[in-house]
A and B are shown apart, each in its own frame.
Chain A
Amino acid sequence: MQRRDFLKLAALGLLAPGTTLTLPARALSHDVRLLSAASDGDGHHFVIGLTADGEPRFRTPLPTRAHAVVAHPDGRHALAVSRRPGRVITVVALDDGRVTHSIEAPEGRHFYGHAVFSPDRKRLFATENAFGDGGGRIGVYAVDDGYRRLSEWDSGGIGPHELLMRPDNTLVVANGGLRTHPDEGRRTLNPDHIEPSIVWLDASGNLLARHQTAPEWRRSSIRHIAALRGGHIAIAMQFQGDSRGEAPLVAIAHPRDGLRTLNVPDALQRRLRDYCGSVTAARDGGSFAVSAPRGNRILFWRADGEYLGATRVEDGCGLAAGATAGEFLISDGLGGLRRHDALTGTQTPLSPSALRFDNHLSSIVPPL
């Protein structure tokens, strides 16, 4: 693809580098369309590439368990980001899965499992933990210079997790609020003082806006986000503890309008077990899907907050935008993969994997 086309797509807001990469098929030299971290039953971890129908194309071993896999906007590479407290991002080539680069977190930092490219694809941003003081950071890396670390920004909170880039160059960050330290594994060190937030940063890392849930629900950790139409952001949360279905789990936020929580239907409130695993917007940003792997459900909403429905997927967690407006790909921890149309409710099973799909799925889709 020409750079000119790329920028045009970006300007139209059709490009959301991160979980969904929009590229015409003719621009690609391979047929890998789905990306995920995965594990076998014996504690071996991989990054895998699949066709649009779920046929395996590559399976590359990783030194540690990865979380999100980010498609490089060049359409030829993908980045498998270690989950906390991992310290490496592994870059693989999509045509054969070979490792082309390893990005190491600097001294005193570890990754949180998510990263995103800038719209001009020159910079990579990764959420990081400065675990000495526990502060959240955004590591900034020069893509064309061997991913050299350029600088770091304050993430605007503790425990930044997923981040996304808007076409206007603003970075949106979900600060989960949970303080952890690699010496103490994954344990939450500040259970009584959790301050999750969603923040908007400008192209230099300056804070533009910050929103939180109501004070009584600060234990709902804001961890995953997806870009909707009109600058709105869908939010999926994880409550620390058992709220008996009372804690908010899903919200929509906008830098000007604040944060609005969405209700889960009564019959599902307790069943979701206070836990959402990921959120993904449809190709056109007009709807979004939220996974609740502990409740074995995937829920769908329209971008304006109207609830569309739910489907049962055992241990379903990974979500990616499909090729059409209301279509989603759903992966699960048992190796299952299916295509689901949120507007019609139709579901098509795809080739299952021998591996367990990890929390997140990414897709490369053609322009609408």
Chain B
Amino acid sequence: MTRIPALLLLMAFTTSPFAADHQAINLSVTDELIIPGYRHLAQATAAFETATASGCADLDTLRARFHDVSDAWNEVEMWRFGPIEYLDRRGRFWFWPDKHGRMDRQLRQLLRAGDREILGDAHFYETSAALQGMPAAERLLFTALSDDLTAADAYACAYLRAIGHNLHDMATRIVADWTDPDRGERRMVEAIADGGSELYDSADEYTAQLLKSLHTQLLAIRDLKFDRPLGEDLDHARPHRAEFWRSTRALRNIRHNLHAVRALYDAIRPAITDATLAEAIQADFEHAEAALAAIDTPLSEAVADPAHRPQVEAARAAIDTLAERVGKELPAALGLALGFNSLDGD
């Protein structure tokens, strides 16, 4: 009773009119978007680590390398499965949103205490996730704290070096965990074809996971990146809830997110047989990209500025339209049923 005969699985697999296309999409997304995205992240973290390792005198270079890592991260942020979820790497890399200001509070405690042992390889990965990643790096590089970085033998600089090393360590491990020929995540996807995947029963299951990533990222842009700083109305705008407002990166992050979402959609699009829907989604993307490009002030300022706020609201609305259409119509158009309990359990 226990095992599903392989033949039955194979039948379920081959009788779906969509299945063959889906495995091709699965492999192309994995090989052309996911893995290159993480490789790019690892290159960016390597450069950031190198910059932090050579002291903190050159603040401009440090900031530029920080921006490169942020750009690369926002191109892969949407993948909410696989090695990024292992060992809480997502939270350790990008602890945001930080609704209770934990990073700031813990960072000030850390700098006050000046404990160097905690910065060592053996301990740093175990410290609070809020202290390990990019939000803490931003706090050090883009506030008055950056003045302390350049002092000789500065603790803040040693701390930034630990962050740089830790980020690169995570990024290289993520790449390795995707690409290991025997146990890697890519192998789990490839093995779907011969029924030997430890993780997936069918190609559809992985494609559905990709679709869920796409939809979830659009919701994250709408709910976390726009709605939280927007607040209820102009009087209740919350500029400091904008993502990475200190480095005025909020819009740049969203643009990279949307770029990555669009690339995934382009990869999936050939499998959509409903041409009308495919074109509607395409138009939604173009509308959202244009609305986003039209915001000509940093998000943290625009939300509280009566002249610019409508631009933000328009971009938010465009993302909402896209997210709703993708969530409601795309799964069925691809012959996929996104699980109800598995998506949102308790």
Give the chain A neighbours of B342 by CB distance below 8 A.
273, 275, 293-294, 296, 315, 317, 333
Question: Who on chain A is nearest to B81 by CB?
Answer: A242
Stretch at the interface among B42-50, B82-90, B134-142: B82-90
B129–A192 CB distance below 8 A? yes
A314–B339 CB distance below 8 A? yes
Give the chain B neighbours of A310 by CB distance below 8 A.
2-3
B339–A344 CB distance below 8 A? no
Q: Which of A282-330 contact B (CB under 8 A)?
A: 293-294, 296, 308-312, 314-318
B85–A309 CB distance below 8 A? no
A258, CB-defined interface residue at 8 Å: no
Most buried by A among B82, B99, B342: B342
Count how many pairs of residues, one from A and one from B, have CB atoms less than 8 Å apart in the complex: 95
Shortest C-beta distance, A357 to chain B (Å), equals 8
A293–B129 CB distance below 8 A? no
A314 to B342, CA, bound (A): 9
- From A344, A345, A359, contact of B345 by CB (8 A): A359
Between-chain CB contacts (< 8 Å), 22 pairs:
A67-B346, A113-B346, A184-B99, A187-B99, A241-B85, A241-B88, A271-B199, A271-B200, A277-B345, A293-B341, A308-B2, A309-B1, A310-B3, A312-B4, A315-B341, A317-B345, A333-B342, A334-B337, A344-B1, A345-B2, A359-B341, A359-B346
* Chain B 302-346 interface mask (CB, 8 Å, partner A; 1/0): 000000000000000000000000001000000001011111011
Give the chain B neighbours of A161 by CB distance below 8 A.
346
A244 to B83, CA, bound (A): 9
A333–B129 CB distance below 8 A? no
Give the chain B neighbours of A294 by CB distance below 8 A.
339, 342, 345
B346–A296 CB distance below 8 A? no
Give the B interface residue count (CB, 8 A). Answer: 30
B100, CB-defined interface residue at 8 Å: yes
A87, CB-defined interface residue at 8 Å: no
Give the chain B neighbours of A137 by CB distance below 8 A.
none
A195, CB-defined interface residue at 8 Å: no
A358 to B339, CA, bound (A): 11
B243, CB-defined interface residue at 8 Å: no
3 tightest A-B CB contacts, nearest first? A345-B1, A333-B340, A309-B2
B128, CB-defined interface residue at 8 Å: yes
Give the chain A neighbours of B81 by CB distance below 8 A.
242
Give the chain B neighbours of A244 by CB distance below 8 A.
86
* Chain B 61-85 interface mask (CB, 8 Å, partner A; 1/0): 0000000000000000000011101
Give the chain A neighbours of B337 by CB distance below 8 A.
314-315, 334
B198, CB-defined interface residue at 8 Å: yes
- From A84, A308, A332, A356, contact of B346 by CB (8 A): A84
Question: Who on chain A is nearest to B129 by CB?
Answer: A192
B298, CB-defined interface residue at 8 Å: no
Give the chain A neighbours of B83 by CB distance below 8 A.
242
A267 to B9, CA, bound (A): 15
A270, CB-defined interface residue at 8 Å: yes
Question: Who on chain A is nearest to B90 by CB?
Answer: A241
Please give 8 more A-B residue pairs, beta carbons under 8 A apart, in addition to A192-B129, A242-B82, A270-B198. A39-B340, A244-B86, A271-B201, A294-B345, A318-B341, A333-B341, A334-B339, A356-B340
Shortest C-beta distance, B241 to chain A (Å), equals 12
B99–A277 CB distance below 8 A? no
B239, CB-defined interface residue at 8 Å: no
Shortest C-beta distance, A245 to chain B (Å), equals 8
A356 to B331, CA, bound (A): 16
* Chain A 249-281 interface mask (CB, 8 Å, partner B; 1/0): 000000000000000010100110101010000
Give the chain A neighbours of B4 by CB distance below 8 A.
311-312
* Chain A 175-204 interface mask (CB, 8 Å, partner B; 1/0): 000000000100101011000000000000
A267–B198 CB distance below 8 A? yes
A191–B129 CB distance below 8 A? yes
B91, CB-defined interface residue at 8 Å: yes
Give the chain B neighbours of A238 by CB distance below 8 A.
345
A72, CB-defined interface residue at 8 Å: no
B199–A270 CB distance below 8 A? yes
Give the chain B neighbours of A332 by CB distance below 8 A.
341
B341–A271 CB distance below 8 A? no
